[in-house]
Structure 1
Amino acid sequence: MSGSGALLVVAGAAVGAPLRFVVDRWARDHTRAGTILGTLVVNLVGSFVLGLVAGVPHPPEWLMPLVGIGFCGALTTFSTLAFETWVFLEERAWKPFAANLALTLGLGLPAVWLGYLLTS
């Protein structure tokens, strides 16, 4: 499945990456929290979906490459989380710094668990 697996990853990423862009732009244009909210939303949704995929008993071979790696990998973004958190640190904006990390980890881990629980 290596060749077809790579194509499945590409197909999933082709949906996840544009969706991330749309969520980020919507958050920037419609909320005061801007891209930080967009990053939080895509990371939480991606964590939940990855939990769902990981919990499927006897999953089809295509599921993890397409949805887990391709879609979730392109939708979520650790690098943007790290950068946004770094900016807060540089600005010594301690409350947003702590909130960004606490919300992402504090809600992301339960999102994975909930998704896994629903399908396992």
Structure 2
Amino acid sequence: MADKVGGIKKQSGKKQFGHPDFYKLLEQMANLHSRKNHDYAGTSDPLKNLRACERLNLEPFLGVMVRLQDKWSRLEEFVKSGQLMVKDESVLDTLMDNAVYSLLGIILYKEQQKKGR
């Protein structure tokens, strides 16, 4: 029988290994994805906003890579300067966005591979 621990299903009686905060962050990541997906993609296609890259003849997977690079560039500048000028997005927010984009990138990459692109 499966239980839910930190929003993640696990087999009953089996110990989960890893830092407990990791599983809490996975749940937070899922919640963030759900909220942002509501605002960006609506209910028709959960990847609609990412697929918009196709209008520019760019594979959605590559579009996600561009978004990830933007976020990493922001973090790199923070490391160099020690400050963020945009106060609405913290370092933790940027890292969480990168985690979500990475998972979305996996989904889109797998789709791309299935299509033989």
Do they fold alike, i.e. is TM over 0.5? Answer: no
Whose helix proportion is higher, 1 or 2?
1
TM range (shorter): 0.3 to 0.5
Q: Which has the higher contact order (CA 8 A, sep 6+)?
A: 1
TM (norm. structure 2) is 0.42
Whose strand proportion is higher, 1 or 2?
2
TM (norm. structure 1) is 0.41
